[in-house]
Structure 1
Amino acid sequence: MRVVVADDSVLLREGLQLILADAGHGVVAAVGDGPSLVGAVAEHAPDLSIVDVRMPPTHTDEGLRAAVEVRRCTPGARILVLSQYVEVSYADELLATGDGGVGYLLKDRVSELGGFLDAVATVADGGTVLDPQVVAQLMRRRRDPLEQLTPREREVLAAMAEGLSNTAIAARLHVTEGGVEKHTQRIFAKLDLHGDDDRQHRRVKAVLAFLR
Structure 2
Amino acid sequence: MKLHTFSDASTKGYGQCIYLRSVNAANKVHVTLISSKARVTPVKSITIPRLELQAAHGAVTLTQKVINELHLLNAQTYYYTDSEVVLGYITNTEARFHTFVANRVERICDHSKSEQWFHVPTDINPADHALRGLNPCRLQSSNWFTGPEFLWNEPIKLPRQPKHQISSTDKEIKAISLSTHHMQAYASIDERITRFSHLDQAV
TM-score between the two structures when normalised by the length of structure 1: 0.31
Q: Which has the higher contact order (CA 8 A, sep 6+)?
A: 2
More helix by share: 1
Structure whose alpha-carbon radius of gyration is higher: 2
TM-score between the two structures when normalised by the length of structure 2: 0.32
